[in-house]
């Protein structure tokens, strides 16, 4: 399926489900807290925060993005680009976790003849916040995804914000298993390179407000008055799965750039002096699995699960990481509403009064009249994400 058709199907599906279709905005962010449009949600931040009344309860778009914090990955992985398009659907106080999961599952797995993408549901894996029982129950009981394909992670590894004060929430990431030629078994929590279990769609359940901070080091300063949904599916990632290409650079909409570079440079793509420079490909992982003459078993060893430097302050408390496939209710304390628990645990840092979110004269977020201490100017990490993306 061509990328243009993947885009059209996205917009048609969400229009048919009551979403206002919005155009892509400028790559220079309309939101003053960030320089570039790093995600599809950027033009909707005031509606998610509640600082502006949304003209529609739900919207969808395919947004052109520059994600500055991904730049170091470009050329090293199969899936990162300096520029990409993010297909998104958004709810402003309308549907929440279950609705977002239902839409994603239906669009991905419905047959091509019914307007869907026709992906095999058996190849889809999810990562969710370990405290998110709503998503766990909905995925495993209502939709019927086997428990082993829903993996639980601590909040710091499965949450999203722009990297600046604004909305934040835990995620449900949807990954597509490209098969054993591309990486180890064990799901996205084990496949550290992310080439086998390719993240194709991130559903963000916005319910918190984050404050100032650098990288993963920031405070949650409150809860949103109304929850919101912000989802993002990499259009080029969907395309490289559906076009059966080894990386996002070889899809129909990106490869012409490489072809033009070949013409201009007189050099051929994929035929470098080292014997081939195409990223991805089945052979890339297979090469890594060949026994090393001096370390005959090294290729059989699994990499350790991802260790991230995430350091939320206050860190949402979580029990020691459970066995990945442990069903909900085992191995950790459970709470009726994880968000309430988070708030309760850190209540000293949260605004005591309710009220709409607003910006003060210096543009900082405030709600209910109390702000956390301003730590001064910080380095930006736009598109902060606990996950690897």
Nearest residue relative to ligand SER (C-beta)? 232
d(CA 250, CA 241): 11
- Among candidate residues 387, 78, 378, 108, the one with its CA nearest the CA of residue 254: 78
Residues in 191-210 that interact with ligand SER by CB under 6 A: 202, 204
Beta bridge partners of 228: 92, 206
User: Measured from the CB of residue 178, what is the shortest distance to ligand SER in angstroms?
Assistant: 20
∠ Cα 154 160 163 (to 5°): 120
Q: Which of 77, 135, 227, 231 binds ligand SER (CB under 6 A)?
A: 231
According to DSSP, the β-strands at 150-153 and 217-234 are unpaired
Examine residue 41 and tell whether it contacts ligand SER (CB under 6 A): yes
- Strand positions, DSSP E, 8-165: 20-21, 58-65, 84-92, 124-129, 150-153, 159-160
User: Measured from the CB of residue 306, what is the shortest distance to ligand SER in angstroms?
Assistant: 17
Beta carbon nearer to ligand SER, 160 or 249: 160
Examine residue 382 and tell whether it contacts ligand SER (CB under 6 A): no
User: Measured from the CB of residue 70, what is the shortest distance to ligand SER in angstroms?
Assistant: 10
DSSP code of residue 114 = G
User: Measured from the CB of residue 210, what is the shortest distance to ligand SER in angstroms?
Assistant: 13
3-state SS class at 132: coil
- Among candidate residues 34, 33, 385, 368, the one with its CA nearest the CA of residue 222: 368
- Burial annotation 319-339 (CB, 10 A radius, 16+ → b, else e): eebeebeeebeeebeeeeebb
d(CA 85, CA 308): 26
* Number of residues lying near ligand SER (CB under 6 A): 10
Piece in contact with ligand SER (CB under 6 A), picked from 34-42, 102-110, 295-303, 368-376: 34-42
User: Measured from the CB of residue 282, what is the shortest distance to ligand SER in angstroms?
Assistant: 27
d(CA 373, CA 174): 36
User: Measured from the CB of residue 234, what is the shortest distance to ligand SER in angstroms?
Assistant: 9
Q: Binding marks (x or -) toward ligand SER, 152..191, rule CB under 6 A? A: --------x-------------------------------
Beta carbon nearer to ligand SER, 39 or 189: 39
Beta carbon nearer to ligand SER, 101 or 350: 101
Examine residue 239 and tell whether it contacts ligand SER (CB under 6 A): no
**What is the phi-psi region of residue 190: left when phi exceeds 0, alpha when psi lies from -120 to 50, beta otherwise?**
alpha
Q: Which of 230, 239, 240, 380 binds ligand SER (CB under 6 A)?
A: 230
Beta carbon nearer to ligand SER, 41 or 239: 41
Piece in contact with ligand SER (CB under 6 A), picked from 36-44, 179-187, 300-308, 322-330: 36-44
Q: Binding marks (x or -) toward ligand SER, 77..116, rule CB under 6 A? A: -----------x----------------------------
Which whole-number Å values give the CA distances from 385 to 147, 254, 279, 347, 348, in the listed order? 24, 25, 24, 24, 25
Cis bond before residue 149 (omega within 30° of 0):
no
Beta carbon nearer to ligand SER, 42 or 145: 42
Residue ranges binding ligand SER (CB under 6 A) = 39-41, 88, 160, 202, 204, 230-232
């Amino acid at each position: 399926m061509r990328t243009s058709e993947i885009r059209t199907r996205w917009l048609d599906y969400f229009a048919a489900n009551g979403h206002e279709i919005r155009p892509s905005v400028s790559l220079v962010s309309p939101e003053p807290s960030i320089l570039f449009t790093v995600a599809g949600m950027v033009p909707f931040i005031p509606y998610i925060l509640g600082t502006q009344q949304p003209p529609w309860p739900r919207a969808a778009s395919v947004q052109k993005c520059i994600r500055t914090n991904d730049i170091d990955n470009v050329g090293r992985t199969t899936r990162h680009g300096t520029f990409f398009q993010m297909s998104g659907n958004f709810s402003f106080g309308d549907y929440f976790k279950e609705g977002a999961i239902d839409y994603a599952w239906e669009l991905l797995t419905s047959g091509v003849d019914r307007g869907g993408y026709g992906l095999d549901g058996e190849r889809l894996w999810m990562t969710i916040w370990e405290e998110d029982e709503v998503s766990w129950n909905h995925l495993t009981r209502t939709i019927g995804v086997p428990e082993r394909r829903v993996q639980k992670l601590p909040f710091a590894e499965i949450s999203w914000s722009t990297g600046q004060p604004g909305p934040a929430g835990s995620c449900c990431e949807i990954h597509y298993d490209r098969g054993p030629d591309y990486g180890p078994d064990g799901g996205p929590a084990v496949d550290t390179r992310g080439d086998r279990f390719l993240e194709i769609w991130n559903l963000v359940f916005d319910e918190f407000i984050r404050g100032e901070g650098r990288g993963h080091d920031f405070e949650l300063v409150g809860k949103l008055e109304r929850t919101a949904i912000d989802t993002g599916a990499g259009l080029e990632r969907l395309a490289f799965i559906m076009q059966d290409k080894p990386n996002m650079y070889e899809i129909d909409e990106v490869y012409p750039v490489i072809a033009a570079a070949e013409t201009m440079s007189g050099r051929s793509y994929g035929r470098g002096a080292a014997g081939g420079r195409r990223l991805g490909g089945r052979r890339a992982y297979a090469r890594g699995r060949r026994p090393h003459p001096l370390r005959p078993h090294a290729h059989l060893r699994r990499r350790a699960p991802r260790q991230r430097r995430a350091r939320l302050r206050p860190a949402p408390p979580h029990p020691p990481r459970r066995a990945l496939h442990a069903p909900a209710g085992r191995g950790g304390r459970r709470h009726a509403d994880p968000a309430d628990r988070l708030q309760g645990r850190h209540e000293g840092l949260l605004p005591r009064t309710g009220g709409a979110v607003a910006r003060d004269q210096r543009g900082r977020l405030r709600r209910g009249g109390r702000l956390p201490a301003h730590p001064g100017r910080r380095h930006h990490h736009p598109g902060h994400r606990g996950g690897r993306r």
